[in-house]
Amino acid sequence: MNEIKVTSADEFDIRDWLRTDLMPHFMCPGCGHGIALRALLWACHELGIGKDRLAVVSGIGCSGRTGAYIDANTFHTTHGRPLAFATGLKLARPDLTVIVISGDGDSLAIGGNHLIHACRRNLDMTLVLLNNEVYGMTGGQVSPTTSAERFTTTTPAGNMEPVFDACKLAEGAGASFVGREATLQTPALKDLFKAAIAHKGFSLTEVISDCTEIFGRKNALGSSPEMVLKQKKVMIPAHTDNRVPEPFKPHPFETGVFVRQERPEYGEVYEALRARVREKGK
Amino acid sequence: MSTLQNIQGNAACAAGAIAAGCRFYAGYPITPSSEIAEQMAARLPKVGGTFIQMEDELGSMAATVGASLGGVKAMTATSGPGFSLKQENLGYAAMTETPCVIVNVMRGGPSTGLPTRPAQADIMQARWGTHGDHPIIVLAPHTVREIFEETIRAFNLAEALRVPVVVLYDETIGHLVETVDLTPPQPEDIVTRTFASGPAEDYLPYAAGEDMIPAFPRPGDGYRTHTTGLTHDERGFPTQDPQKVDAFMKRLLGKLERHAKMIEKTESVEVDDAQVLIVTMGTPARAAKTAIRQLRDEGIRAGLLRPVTLWPFPEAALRAAAKGKRAVLVPEMNAGQLILEVQRVLGGAAPVSGLNVFNGEPIAPQQIAQAVKELVK
Amino acid sequence: MSGKAKNANGDGVTSVLVVGVGGQGVIMVSKVLATLCQEHGLEVKQSEVHGMAKRGGAVFSHVRFGRQVHSPVIPAGEADVLVALEWAEGLRWLHYLNPETGVFISDVRKIIPPFACRDRGRGVMPHYARSTPRDVLEKVSVGYAMDATDTAARLGNERAANTVLLGIMSTTLPFSENAWLETIERFVPPKTREVNRAAFLAGREWVKDATVPQGEVLPQVEVDPALPQARNVWDINPAWCKGCDICVKFCPERCLKLDAEGKAVMVKPELCTGCRLCEMLCPDFAIRLSKEIPEKVSS
Ligand SMILES: Cc1ncc(C[n+]2csc(CCOP(=O)(O)OP(=O)(O)O)c2C)c(N)n1
Ligand code: SF4
Ligand code: SF4
Ligand code: SF4
Ligand SMILES: [Mg+2]
């Protein structure tokens, strides 16, 4: 007699990485941060990171709240400071894989100083910068990445300020790994995260995410699926000559890995210093 | 080997921290506290620890708490303007019950004020600087030796009670060099937080026993907990349930009261027969001791009560010391902060007056003696 | 059915509780009411609470008016009128309604709220949201439950649902139709004046012969019984799905659909290629596709 045995061919089940008792999560319908979170956990899964050794440090914002759903050591810190908390944590515990989740307001406005210095220092951790062009959590105010002429609650006549390009900023500040991907390209986003986490040193990964409920509505960007699809229209894969023309328009964005270089990692540099002083002390 | 050395207050602070087991320091330079950072930068790598100069005080406080969240004893030091910047993340430490030590070497304010001159104007900020009701311990040493001791005690209390502890002294003692014995404490006198142990299943990171202090889940030990500055329940997850919030806040605020005996520390000098009780801390307490001797030589009986643990304030000790006194004098290097607490505690049981100096000069013994004489006239 | 708010003559204090979720216009309803009262010489107290400062969080507003009003807050069991822009919110606040005389007015639409991290068992529906309009209307003294969102949509803008309910509410209070209309005009964007006017009148009209709407029946998912070589198995978790429509619109084979509750369901399993686009783009991790590969085991 023949019997049919059924096996599943699937490896990654996000539920293995979630605190399922907290689900459904608090994000709005269609929020891009959820898609980014999936890609991140998918990357962790493929890298074989142990959940006990994974530390996720997040800031304040809808972006920062995503950390709580990860079944790992999670730290929901203060607005703009997650990189600084993570710096202490990683230096004290080099054995942990440290991932920082932050928003465009969190990292580029209030936390801008910590960002540039984290890039410069090159301590081994990965920043996931969820860029939705807006302060989602506080109800849709302008952020340093809000495109020109977009409406937010604090730019009722349309945004007049130029934007930050987070990747260029990081490159200028000396980050040793910089990349950008959109939530629409979930597998590519996952691969970007994998490369960033595996990279020894500070990595910045900017995610083009969508705030569907606030920014989307305010600017009549359409339904959630329409918003995700729009990413495709303005996306330019890296290493074409088609660079972002000027940062002042609702701009197309490049995707891909922009910087990847070997630089001395801060933790290792410090360990060498310890060895030196111990040697001298003998 | 003799452990007697000529050492500056700020250096004694660093020595105390290392002796207490501090292995992480994050700071940002500011007069008159910078020597602590310089000392830690030199000492920490020798003992396998880490020093980092962060980009600002917001970052240095955050990194300090971050390191402690990793299970390592951590400290930061600063002065007035930097202390203001540390407040938000100090509140995070209080809320998440993360042990850490913050040294504030006080200088004249407000704002940039008198960077190189002493003051004691952060007494209230040390207690109430961060927003929201929160537990905090503040220790106020008055000699170089005491800076060493109190820094060790700060770590012990922080670790035992999972609370931020502030070591508060003014520029005068910070920069004072004294010959002191820095014998390191016995290992049994060093406290390290209790780390969570036992099964990870159904583990509740913020469930505390009778002592109101939950064991600390060290990352990597398998508990995979959530830490947040949002008000949280026993699982560590945000809650707005009034009952849970109430229970949490009561434990958070109540734990110091439960361990009051461990925390409280005062010094009394000739209080029993005194007509006038002087209540003061830090540098003015040194002047007060001299003044008491002079006054007694002249037949005027003055005594001193000095809170070594400034916050929580030693209410019972003050009430007992002030009993039957003709007057209470509160000399301080500010426009009147400690006196507010003294008046509140005594509630009219004795007349309280202040001696306030805020011109950047320490209070001299003669000024205190003069003020006492006025009171007994 | 008809009803007047008990204290609506202005002698005592009338308490109106307006509830809903962010973005529905709770505040607009309460502002219109408060302004109207104030212009009729009454003392008004209006207080508002936004749950989370973003779309989808619970929002409620207390409006109390009369000759003299002290407390701005309505005690439980003392609201004369409860206006709910969202069904589940209405039920959640039901105990605020005066059990003897209160008037209950609600849209029957449910909105999947973006839940904050809180104590919810996996997949547990809040029990109150299961009550049908009929169950509820039997419990209150006067109740109006209508699909205001649908009414507003048919008039050209579903966001005017709050104005439809305002129309119903207006029949319980002693102000003239014109006074209502004039005030509403001042609180809505000029472009939407017409639709709001129509919505208000539709609500008022509907009261005349209000009936309880029937509950809709969920379409059943049919699964192809023929077992292909590698079988795709979908696990769509309705408790996690927020109905964003991303999976539906992105599925290259158009296999998915939102059901009447706004939850994704598999409707054409035979067309599914197992590409996983739906799973990868679902922001709520509500879809899990696994491929079961039957292998023969001889025994
Ligand atoms: C010190 C401080 N200032 C302001 C706030 C209020 N606040 C909370 S989240 C936020 C903005 C978040 O925007 P972003 O980082 O882009 O995250 P998003 O919600 O868009 O994911 C602000 C200003 C705060 N929590 N703390
Ligand atoms: S407000 Fe915007 S960013 Fe925040 S959860 Fe909603 S859609 Fe996402
Ligand atoms: S993408 Fe997810 S949340 Fe959105 S409708 Fe589909 S299953 Fe539901
Ligand atoms: S796996 Fe692909 S084909 Fe199948 S339902 Fe999902 S998106 Fe459609
Ligand atoms: Mg944002």
Residues C228-257 pLDDT 10s: 356 788 999 999 999 999 999 988 888 999
Question: What's the CATH code of the domain at C187?
Answer: 3.40.920.10
Instruction: Look at residue C111 in the predicted model and tell me its pLDDT.
Output: 61
Q: Which two tokens stand for residue A20?
A: 């399922």
The answer, yes or no, to whether residue C214 has pLDDT greater than 50, is: no
Side-chain half-sphere CA neighbours of A272 within 13 A: 6
Higher pLDDT, C185 or C12: C185
Distances (CA, A) of C173 to A166, A195, C43, C44, C96: 55, 65, 15, 14, 19
Q: What is the DSSP letter of A137?
A: T
Q: Residues with Cβ within 6 A of ligand 1?
A: A 60-63, 79, 103-106, 130, 132, 134-138, 143
Q: How many domains is chain C partitioned into structurally?
A: 2
* Same domain, yes or no: C271 and C154: no
* Same domain, yes or no: C180 and C266: no
Q: How far apart are CA B224 and CA A51, in angstroms?
A: 8
Q: Which two tokens stand for residue A269?
A: 């540099």
Q: Answer yes or no: do C117 and B241 touch at CB < 8 A.
A: no
Instruction: Look at residue A179 in the predicted model and tell me its pLDDT.
Output: 97
Q: How far apart are CA A210 and CA A231, in angstroms?
A: 9
Are the C-beta atoms of A37 and A103 separated by less than 8 Å?
no
Q: How far apart are CA C146 and CA C107, in angstroms?
A: 5
What angle, 0 to 180 degrees and rounded to 10, lies between the N-to-C axes of helices C148-155 and C193-208? 130
Calculate the average pLDDT of chain C: 78
A152 backbone φψ class: left, alpha, beta (φ>0; ψ -120 to 50): beta
Are the C-beta atoms of B53 and B36 separated by less than 8 Å?
no
Q: Answer yes or no: do A31 and C283 touch at CB < 8 A.
A: yes
What is the domain extent for residue C135?
14-209
Are the C-beta atoms of B349 and B299 separated by less than 8 Å?
no
Residue in chain B nearest C117 by alpha carbon = B238
- How sure is the predictor about A12, in pLDDT bands with cuts at 50, 70 and 90? very high
Instruction: For Cα atoms A274, A275, A276, give the angle at the middle one, nearest 5 degrees.
Output: 90
- Kindly list the partner chains of chain A, i.e. chains with 3 or more CB atom pairs below 8 Å: B, C
Report, as an integer, the average pLDDT of A109-125. 98
Q: Which residues of C touch B233 (CB under 8 A)?
A: 119
Q: What is the DSSP letter of B195?
A: B
Decide the pairing of beta strands A97-103 and A177-182.
unpaired
Question: What's the CATH code of the domain at C263?
Answer: 3.30.70.20
Higher pLDDT, B297 or A231: B297
What ranges do the domains of chain B cover? 4-189, 200-261, 267-375
Instruction: Look at residue C135 in the predicted model and tell me its pLDDT.
Output: 72
Cross-strand bridge partners of residue A7: C293
CATH class of B4-189: alpha beta
Instruction: Look at residue C3 in the predicted model and tell me its pLDDT.
Output: 59
3-state secondary structure of B61: helix
Instruction: Look at residue A235 in the predicted model and tell me its pLDDT.
Output: 75
Q: How far apart are CA A170 and CA C278, in angstroms?
A: 33
Report, as an integer, the average pLDDT of B116-145. 98
The answer, yes or no, to whether residue C123 has pLDDT greater than 50, is: no
Query: What is the percentage of chain A residues whose pLDDT exceeds 70?
Result: 91
Cross-strand bridge partners of residue C43: C66
Q: What is the DSSP letter of A106?
A: I
What are the φ and ψ backbone dihedral angles of A206, each rounded to 5 degrees? -95, 130
Instruction: Look at residue B37 in the predicted model and tell me its pLDDT.
Output: 98
Residues B92-107 pLDDT 10s: 999 999 999 999 999 9
* Same domain, yes or no: C195 and C248: no
* Same domain, yes or no: C81 and C204: yes
CA distance A53 to chain C (A): 23
Q: Which two tokens stand for residue B26?
A: 């994050």
The answer, yes or no, to whether residue C6 has pLDDT greater than 80, is: no
Q: Which residues of C touch B (CB under 8 A)?
A: 116-119
Higher pLDDT, A35 or C74: A35
Instruction: Look at residue A281 in the predicted model and tell me its pLDDT.
Output: 80
Instruction: Look at residue C58 in the predicted model and tell me its pLDDT.
Output: 72
- How sure is the predictor about C83, in pLDDT bands with cuts at 50, 70 and 90? very high
- How sure is the predictor about C77, in pLDDT bands with cuts at 50, 70 and 90? confident
* Same domain, yes or no: C286 and C150: no
Q: Which two tokens stand for residue A87?
A: 């710096």
Report yes or no: A29 at the C interface, CB cutoff 8 Å. yes
Q: Answer yes or no: do B220 and A96 touch at CB < 8 A.
A: yes
Q: How far apart are CA A248 and CA C105, in angstroms?
A: 48
Residues B57-78 pLDDT 10s: 999 999 999 999 999 999 999 9
Instruction: Look at residue C216 in the predicted model and tell me its pLDDT.
Output: 31
Instruction: Look at residue B106 in the predicted model and tell me its pLDDT.
Output: 98
Supply the ipTM of this predicted assembly: 0.97
Q: How far apart are CA C144 and CA C102, in angstroms?
A: 11
Listed in order, strand segments (DSSP E) in A223-281 are: 235-237, 253-260
Q: Which residues of C touch A8 (CB under 8 A)?
A: 233, 290-293
The answer, yes or no, to whether residue C163 has pLDDT greater than 50, is: yes
* Same domain, yes or no: C275 and C171: no
Q: How far apart are CA B341 and CA A81, in angstroms?
A: 34
* Same domain, yes or no: C94 and C138: yes
**Interfacial C residues in 86-125 facing A (CB < 8 Å):** 112, 114-118, 120-122
Q: Which residues of A touch B50 (CB under 8 A)?
A: 91-92, 270
Decide the pairing of beta strands A141-142 and A134-135.
antiparallel
How is A11-50 classified by DSSP, letter by letter?
A: ---GGGGB-GGGPSPSSPTT-HHHHHHHHHHHHHHHHT--
Q: Answer yes or no: do C55 and A214 touch at CB < 8 A.
A: yes
Instruction: Look at residue A43 in the predicted model and tell me its pLDDT.
Output: 96
Instruction: Look at residue C207 in the predicted model and tell me its pLDDT.
Output: 82
What is the Å distance from ligand 4's center to C258 Cα?
A: 14
* HEC-encoded secondary structure of chain C: CCCCCCCCCCCCCEEEEEEEECCCCHHHHHHHHHHHHHHCCCEEEEEEEECCCCCCCEEEEEEEEECCCCCCCCCCCCECEEEECCHHHHHHCHHHECCCCCEEEEECCCCCCCCCCCCCCCCCCCHHHHCCHHHHHHHCCEEEEECHHHHHHHHCCHHHHHHHHHHHHHCCCCCCHHHHHHHHHHHCCHHHHHHHHHHHHHHHHHHHCCCCCCCCCCCCCCCCCCCCCCEEEEEECCCCCCCCCHHHHHCCCCCEEECCCCCEEECCHHHCCCCCHHHHHCCCCCEEEEEEEEEEEEC
Give the residue from C21, C48, C55 with the most A CB atoms within 10 Å of its CB, the best one to mutate: C55
Q: CATH code for B267-375?
A: 3.40.50.920
- Residue for token pair 């305010």: A218
Q: How far apart are CA B182 and CA B69, in angstroms?
A: 29
What are the φ and ψ backbone dihedral angles of C71, each rounded to 5 degrees? -80, 135
Instruction: Look at residue A211 in the predicted model and tell me its pLDDT.
Output: 97
Length reported for chain C? 299
Higher pLDDT, C213 or B112: B112
Residues B225-262 pLDDT 10s: 999 999 999 999 999 999 999 999 999 999 999 999 99
Instruction: Look at residue C221 in the predicted model and tell me its pLDDT.
Output: 27
- Burial class of residue A190, CB neighbours in 10 A (0-12, 13-18, 19+): buried
Report, as an integer, the average pLDDT of B124-147. 98
Tell whether C6 is covered by a domain.
Answer: no
Residues A153-188 pLDDT 10s: 999 999 999 999 999 999 999 999 999 999 998 999
* Same domain, yes or no: C66 and C185: yes
Q: How far apart are CA B155 and CA B174, in angstroms?
A: 19
Instruction: Look at residue C298 in the predicted model and tell me its pLDDT.
Output: 52
* Same domain, yes or no: C47 and C147: yes
With CA atoms as reference, report the closest residue to C29 among C203, C146, C191: C203
Higher pLDDT, A37 or C41: A37
Query: What is the percentage of chain B residues whose pLDDT exceeds 90?
Result: 99
Report, as an integer, the average pLDDT of B138-157. 98
Calculate the average pLDDT of chain B: 97
CA B257 from centroid of its chain's CA atoms: 16
Decide the pairing of beta strands B137-139 and B164-170.
parallel
The answer, yes or no, to whether residue B364 has pLDDT greater than 70, is: yes
* Same domain, yes or no: C114 and C198: yes
The answer, yes or no, to whether residue C211 has pLDDT greater than 60, is: no
Q: How far apart are CA B350 and CA B277, in angstroms?
A: 10
- Complete edge-to-edge strand list for the sheet that includes strand B266-269: B266-269, B302-307, B276-279, B327-332, B352-356
The answer, yes or no, to whether residue A123 has pLDDT greater than 50, is: yes
The answer, yes or no, to whether residue C296 has pLDDT greater than 70, is: no
Q: Which two tokens stand for residue B289?
A: 């001791």
Instruction: Look at residue C54 in the predicted model and tell me its pLDDT.
Output: 47
- The residue whose CA is least distant from atom 2 of ligand 3 is C282
Omega of the bond leading into C72 within 30 degrees of 0 (cis): no
Identify the weakest region by mean pLDDT among A250-259, B39-48, C217-226. C217-226
Tell whether C269 is covered by a domain.
Answer: yes
How is B220-252 classified by DSSP, letter by letter?
A: TSS---EEESS-B-TTS-B---HHHHHHHHHHH
* Maximum average pLDDT range among B36-40, C67-71, C76-80: B36-40
CB distance C272 to ligand 4 below 6 Å: yes
Tell whether C8 is covered by a domain.
Answer: no
Tell whether C175 is covered by a domain.
Answer: yes
Q: Which two tokens stand for residue B36?
A: 């602590």
Q: Answer yes or no: do C288 and A23 touch at CB < 8 A.
A: no
How is B250-304 classified by DSSP, letter by letter?
A: HHHHHHHHHTHHHH--EEEES-TT-SEEEE--SHHHHHHHHHHHHHHHTT--EEE
Residue in chain C nearest A17 by alpha carbon = C285
Identify the weakest region by mean pLDDT among A139-143, C14-18, C53-57, C134-138. C53-57
Q: What is the DSSP letter of A247?
A: T
Q: How far apart are CA C77 and CA B26, in angstroms?
A: 55
Are the C-beta atoms of A166 and A129 separated by less than 8 Å?
yes
Query: Roughly how many angstroms between the first and final C-alpha of chain C, as a whole number?
Result: 71
With CA atoms as reference, report the closest residue to C240 among A29, A13, A31: A29
Instruction: Look at residue C72 in the predicted model and tell me its pLDDT.
Output: 79
Tell whether C287 is covered by a domain.
Answer: yes
Higher pLDDT, B341 or C43: B341
Cross-strand bridge partners of residue A257: A179
- Complete edge-to-edge strand list for the sheet that includes strand C287-298: A2-8, C287-298, C231-236
* Same domain, yes or no: C144 and C49: yes
How is B108-145 classified by DSSP, letter by letter?
A: E-STT-EEEEE--TTHHHHHH-SSSS---EEE---SHH
Omega of the bond leading into A247 within 30 degrees of 0 (cis): no
Which residue ranges form the domains of chain A, and what is each CATH number?
Answer: 14-281 (3.40.50.970)
Query: Roughly how many angstroms between the first and final C-alpha of chain B, as a whole number?
Result: 53
* Same domain, yes or no: C167 and C259: no
- Burial class of residue C185, CB neighbours in 10 A (0-12, 13-18, 19+): middle
- How sure is the predictor about C114, in pLDDT bands with cuts at 50, 70 and 90? very low
